[in-house]
Chain A
Amino acid sequence: DAKTTQPPSMDCAEGRAANLPCNHSTISGNEYVYWYRQIHSQGPQYIIHGLKNNETNEMASLIITEDRKSSTLILPHATLRDTAVYYCIVRVPNAGGTSYGKLTFGQGTILTVHP
């Protein structure tokens, strides 16, 4: 799986957009980008995923660059409840063997939303 790099921490003002970058320069053609977040000691929460087109759901938007070497998760109107660690993961959907379904979180980005 492609390695991902994220900034260790970011700040955002409440009500503003939070833009969280992720670098995955070694991503291969069939790897998807998934984003999760984990609020302190709670179970991780799936946010969104994409392959090459921009994606949007009720939680966030995902912008993937044309060369797919990086992506940005956008929380359009951050709230205090969005304070969490955000993880960017790259996975091959039909990976077989012991990797099937396995999520491996790196260090992620600690997003702090302040009033």
Chain B
Amino acid sequence: EAQVTQNPRYLITVTGKKLTVTCSQNMNHEYMSWYRQDPGLGLRQIYYSMNVEVTDKGDVPEGYKVSRKEKRNFPLILESPSPNQTSLYFCASSLSRVGGLAVYEQYFGPGTRLTVT
């Protein structure tokens, strides 16, 4: 089954304790992206990756890091989490081909609800 998986699904942590949210897709997609969703602010892109070893900042990258060492995995790292990073996080993936239509047909993971106290 084609899917994007995220782990953990729920996490409560304390300020400053480094954490990683994993994202994995089994569709051989080139494009992967992280979003956060907050009430009243909609979906905001944190980082994206167009392929292995190619990553770039989205709209709200401060306080986050990513890496793309393998095509299937795109972990989100919070080196020193703060309460303003409490949010619902989604990973997404899609094909990225010449013409660019498919990149907007994104598969989303189930979400990770993070609480930083």
Contact = CB atoms under 8 A, between A and B. Distances in A.
Given A41-B88, A98-B58, A100-B50, A105 B104 contact: no
Interface string B16-60: 000000000000000101010000001101001010000011110
Given A98-B57, A101-B31, A106 B42 contact: yes
What band does the interface of chain B fall in when counting residues whose beta carbon is under 8 Å from A? 20 to 34
B4 interface: yes
A45 B111 CA distance: 12
A105 B105 contact: no
A34 B96 CA distance: 16
A43 B108 contact: yes
A103 B43 contact: yes
Contact of B111 (A43, A93, A104, A105): A43
B74 interface: no
Contacts of A93: 99-101, 103-104
Contacts of B31: 101
Contacts of B57: 98
Interface residues of A, number: 24
B100 A94 contact: yes
Contacts of B88: 41
Which of A45, A49, A102 has most B Cβ within 10 Å? A102
Interface of B: 4, 31, 33, 35, 42-43, 45, 48, 50, 56-59, 88, 90, 92, 94, 96, 99-101, 103-111, 113
Interface of A: 32, 34, 41-46, 49, 89, 91-95, 98, 100-107
Given A43-B90, A91-B104, A104-B42, 4 more contacts: A93-B101, A101-B106, A102-B33, A106-B42
